[in-house]
A and B are shown apart, each in its own frame.
Chain A
């Protein structure tokens, strides 16, 4: 029995919230096919595949991509390609480092007793309880002050001067990603029965072998979901990147933000649509992998 499950009130509210979540995304995608350069009004879809298409009521020169005009435009935009490259480089590097050191810390916090343990555990909560902008300007201050001092002390000039760039963004990303990796892996370790390891050692495996043959495979799903969370946090990050990037290290969110403050063409919508599509496929793939793991194999 469950007399509350099918309450029409709950169903109505649910439908409304899902509509609220998806309406903006649908509109965003729709406008990426807009036959208008100003992208203020929806002028209809681009229908023909010719070199001259009707846009804002008049004919203009265009690539023969038809409805996908703005996607073609996007693929020719070097700034976007560079920003995408930066975003992925930063996300991959930061994820690898954060996952390795974060997993190590989770093991330490869950399995060992040591002097700085309370401090280590407490520092993990900083990114959760402190607004990102506070961390962002703090890190910016750290870099600008220490770089200024180092450049002067070491007499660095020109290109060898320390400056904000991909390196500073990556290092900062790791700082706010690590706690999430550690907390996720720690949660996984909490439900881990020590008798598996004891059994391995009983059967003659030393600590090192036990870790790699027993412990690690069993916590791997936790490590992977921690890594995935870290990766998405990095891809999505705006605030920390905003304060720590420099010339040549623009990421996609920063690039889009820059465009929003100037003239917006449907190119931004095309970019957003591509992004949403990639996210959709990634989440789908992940769900599929999880459901495959959950099913018992016969």
Chain B
């Protein structure tokens, strides 16, 4: 038996990969399947799941409502469609802002003296490793009516002799966007840096030699060669933003409800896991579709591991 195992490479491979594969199967794949099953079910009066088969949760999610004004039996209620759309646009806006902020910084680090590169990278890692929840809290302190931003703005107004009424920034969509951008910025900097750092200096020289100025070099050489990093960063930012509920919960209050908040409330407050499961599956399908088309267009970089 031992001899057979020693000679059978395929058996050895299976043995080594089995714990991980099994673990992922039980805790990631079975739960996804369960979520699908539950999403077809119904909520029992005490918040448990009654297993049955129906598409009612999905129909409700896409706007079918029986709670209508004017005594109609059914009507279109855009509540949930709006939430889905809001999540999608927020994730898109966040990703765009993050790329715009991350790119120059990553470029700067990649072109810095090799001795100083580590220090600059280190300065990116510190905020990244500071806890997610703590980082949202920091923005809460900044954006509040009595917070640091208003204090600084007040000083300036005072200096210029202007009247100043503190701005209402917390609990607005803008606050959620800023919070999201702050949370996920390092996830974009690192992969872009990795792909920029790989570009050999002679390529910049070749471009200059062939007549390209700084701007054209950026457009035609630097950007295309760093695309794998941008793609990896986008995946690392877009997907989590779609599903995050803490940022909107703390910085958006009741004003900005995203699909993450919807799901969380179904499981904890509203106690309708079946509807929550359906919303969660729709969220998953949405991210998969976006990722699929995005990576098919730009390729899937190995930079994702580097981050």
Contacts and interface: CB of A to CB of B under 8 A. Distances in A.
Please tell me whether chains A and B touch each other in their complex, using a CB distance cut-off of 8 A. Answer: yes
Interface of A: 1-5, 7, 9-11, 13-14, 17-18, 20-25, 27-28, 31, 40-42, 101-102, 104-105, 107-109, 111-117, 119-120, 123-124, 126-135, 137-142, 145, 171-172, 174-176, 178-179, 182-184, 186-187, 207, 232, 235-236, 238-239, 242-243, 252-253, 256-257, 260, 264, 268-269, 272, 275-276, 279-280, 282-284, 287, 291
Contacts of A269: 141
A52 to B, nearest CB: 26
A169 B73 CA distance: 45
Given A31-B141, A137-B263, A174-B23, A4 B17 contact: no
Contact of B283 (A101, A104, A134, A276): A134
Contacts, number: 276
Interface in B1-45: 6, 9-17, 19-21, 23-32, 34-35, 38
Given A129-B287, A257-B246, A279-B126, A135 B214 contact: no
Interface size class, chain B = 35 or more
A3 B20 contact: no
A11 B132 CA distance: 28
A87 B288 CA distance: 31
Interface in B107-162: 107-108, 111, 118, 122-127, 129-142, 144, 146, 148, 151
Interface in B217-238: 217-218, 235-236
B250 interface: yes
A115 B12 CA distance: 11
A141 B31 CA distance: 7
8 contacts: A13-B108, A22-B123, A24-B138, A25-B127, A134-B32, A141-B277, A175-B23, A279-B130
Interface stretch (B53-61, B64-72, B200-208): B200-208
B291 interface: yes
B252 to A, nearest CB: 13
Given A133-B283, A134-B243, 5 more contacts: A105-B16, A108-B13, A119-B21, A138-B34, A142-B31
Contacts of A175: 23-24, 27-28
- Which residue, of A23, A115, A183, has the highest number of chain B Cβ atoms within 10 A? A23
B137 A272 contact: yes
Interface in B63-114: 101-102, 104-105, 107-108, 111
Given A20-B182, A108-B16, A134-B243, A129 B29 contact: no
Contacts of A232: 129
B127 A22 contact: yes
A105 B16 CA distance: 6
Contact of B144 (A3, A40, A137, A238): A40
B183 to A, nearest CB: 11
Contact of B28 (A21, A135, A276): A135
A112 B13 contact: yes
B62 interface: no
B159 to A, nearest CB: 19
Contacts of A275: 130-131, 134
B233 to A, nearest CB: 13
A283 B31 contact: no
Contact of A138 (B32, B245, B304): B32
Interface in B164-196: 182, 185-186
A138 B35 contact: yes
A238 B32 contact: no
A117 B17 contact: yes
Contacts of A283: 122, 125-126, 129
- Which residue, of B21, B30, B111, has the highest number of chain A Cβ atoms within 10 A? B21
A107 B16 CA distance: 7
Contacts of B26: 142
A283 B125 CA distance: 8
A131 B23 contact: no
Given A28-B141, A42-B151, A272-B138, A141 B35 contact: yes
A10 B260 CA distance: 36
B27 A133 contact: no
A260 B10 contact: no
Given A138-B31, A145-B49, A129 B239 contact: yes
A120 B20 contact: yes
Given A14-B104, A171-B27, A243 B127 contact: no
Given A116-B14, A131-B239, A138-B31, A104 B126 contact: no
